[in-house]
Amino acid sequence: MNIKVNMRADIDGFDKKKSTVASGWVEIEGIFKFPVSVRSYHDADKGKDMMFVSYPQRHDGDKYVGVVYPTDRNVRQEIDKAVLDATREKLFAELVPNVQIDDIRITPLNAKEGAVIKNVGIATVKMYGLTINGIMIREGRKGLFVQMPQYQSRGQYRDTVYGITTAIQHKIEDTVLERYQAIKKQQEQQYTQQQKIQVGSDETVVLNPQMLQEMQNMRQQEQMMRENQQISQQEAQNRGRQAQQERQRQEQQRQEQQEQERQRQEQERQEQQKHENPDKKELWHLLNMAGAVIEEQQLEDIYATPRSKDAYLNYLEMVRSEYVKQGEKLTDSEALTRNDIQIAYLNKAISNIEQIRVSMMDEVYERQEATQQTTQPQQIYSNEEAISVMELNFAQNNKEGIRFVAKNSKLNIDNPIIVGKYIRAQSFTIENGNDKVFARFQNELNGMEHMRTGPLLIRQQIVMQVFKDGVPQPPYLYASFRADNMNDALENYNQCVNTWANLTNQRLSELMKISNVKKQEMRAPKI
């Protein structure tokens, strides 16, 4: 079974013996997904802490009822293993390794009076043969905190360097704050000693307030000379990060509400559904009599998802067209009769498939996808930044990074090239002078030309390439599919075109509308 797991571990909850130590999503066979959580408990018999997977439930009166859960023991074991392995990996990644810091140098600053967040020091850290400058030590309402060096890009502020995990970052911050507090304590002791001048063995002369004020003013002037505009920029960066965090929180809340609404609609649909789909055995018999190719799993998919149903209907339409062409060439009455019988069975099968009422789940996902696509994504990357980051992702084979850059950059998308019922090709570019990123969706599935007998090689792929100063760099294969039969080719086409639509923030339904318009324009008018 193809199982994908994305978990988020709560290391603080794990250390504090909380019941829930991780949460995330499970995706099954690339068809559907659902939320899960990992909970901990103490096994008295074994004398150690254990973990188990918790599946989603809903409150029904005075009890909880499972929404999604495996009924097959082997399936449950497989899902539980994948979730627990991912959780252990996340928990292990959050453990604090032995971080070696060679040297820390801190320059205390005089904070501005009246500021809500005060800059009280600048730190330089040396570790693993590297030097990190510009680590700010700041003081807010909740006390001291550390801000790593940042840079500004198109109104957004990002950390230039940071710890790989939260635990490692906290280790660096705690070490810097400890050194800063030690230096401040030492300075206070020195300042107290400077206030008194020992004369002889018994007499002590205290400096007058005017002299003390002059000394303090001199130190403030020296420190102000070391300050620059970076401080104000970093304050703006912090405000930008806070605003971004608030937007992310609102987006997460919106997605959770959509998920709850989707589950509610699906439950209502199941309760209100009274329509009975055509019998599977009868449909199987009709397809066999019609000479159509179908496997058991493919039949199940037709009843499960609209996309599988539409793809197989396209295949049957091509089979019918081929039968019609063959019938036109026949002269023998017996052969012609046999051809007509196959077409009759085929028409009956097509009619039954069109009557199938599939699951509401895919319809909900389509509406959710349409809602998300109506909101234009915020452009995070400039064209220059997008080209540079995309080239780095190509080298690292980071497909998630590629998808993130594409979704958050300005894409110049061409109109699709339509052949029959299928999108043959479409491309987009990200340009900055002579530098650019070029990406193209390519499909070799045309329809009737692939109904011939003999070995076939039908391909779909998404290819990307970076041009530096007009010179093409090695191409990158983002997605690739090959098939030697019509059924697999249709499935591959649906998967590849959906991947392309998601990558380019296009609605698949809109692309298919373009396909229908092109087909109508090419069709000869009736006389």
Q: State residue 276's pLDDT score.
A: 61
Structure tokens at 40: 């901990």
Contact 418, 424 (CB under 8 A): yes
Cα dihedral: 335, 340, 341, 346 (round 10): 130
pLDDT per residue as tens digits for the range 98-146 = 677 888 888 888 877 777 888 889 999 888 888 999 899 998 888 899 9
Q: Please give the residue that has the higher pLDDT: either 371 or 7.
A: 7
Q: State residue 269's pLDDT score.
A: 66
Nearest in space to 352 (alpha carbons), one of 270, 434, 290 = 290
Distance CA 514, CA 424 (A): 12
Which residue's entry shows tokens 């980071």?
398
pLDDT per residue as tens digits for the range 138-189 = 988 888 999 899 888 887 888 888 877 677 778 888 889 988 888 888 877 7
Beta-carbon contacts of residue 499 (< 8 Å; ≥ 6 apart): 462, 479
Spell out the domain ranges in the chain.
3-94, 103-198+206-242, 280-358, 376-522
Predicted TM-score (pTM) above 0.75: no
Q: State residue 83's pLDDT score.
A: 93
Nearest in space to 24 (alpha carbons), one of 6, 4, 51, 2 = 6
Distance CA 160, CA 127 (A): 16
pLDDT at 263 exceeding the cut of 60? yes
pLDDT per residue as tens digits for the range 394-440 = 999 999 889 989 988 999 999 898 877 788 999 999 999 999 999 99
Nearest in space to 498 (alpha carbons), one of 490, 255, 520 = 490
pLDDT at 511 exceeding the cut of 80? no
Distance CA 109, CA 121 (A): 5
Which residue's entry shows tokens 């599939």?
358
Confidence of residue 13 (pLDDT cuts 50, 70, 90): low
pLDDT at 476 exceeding the cut of 70? yes
The mean pLDDT value for 355-381 works out to: 57
Q: State residue 75's pLDDT score.
A: 92
pLDDT per residue as tens digits for the range 293-348 = 777 887 888 887 787 888 888 888 888 887 777 776 666 555 555 677 888 888 88
Helix (H, G, I), strand (E, B) or coil at 370: helix
Q: State residue 265's pLDDT score.
A: 80
Nearest in space to 370 (alpha carbons), one of 235, 510, 484 = 510
The mean pLDDT value for 205-209 works out to: 52
Domain 103-198+206-242: assigned CATH number = 3.30.1120.40
Contact 147, 136 (CB under 8 A): yes
Q: State residue 466's pLDDT score.
A: 95
The mean pLDDT value for 499-517 works out to: 73
Give me the phi and psi of 53, to 5 degrees please.
-95, 130
The mean pLDDT value for 207-225 works out to: 67
Distance CA 335, CA 353 (A): 27
Distance CA 451, CA 456 (A): 9
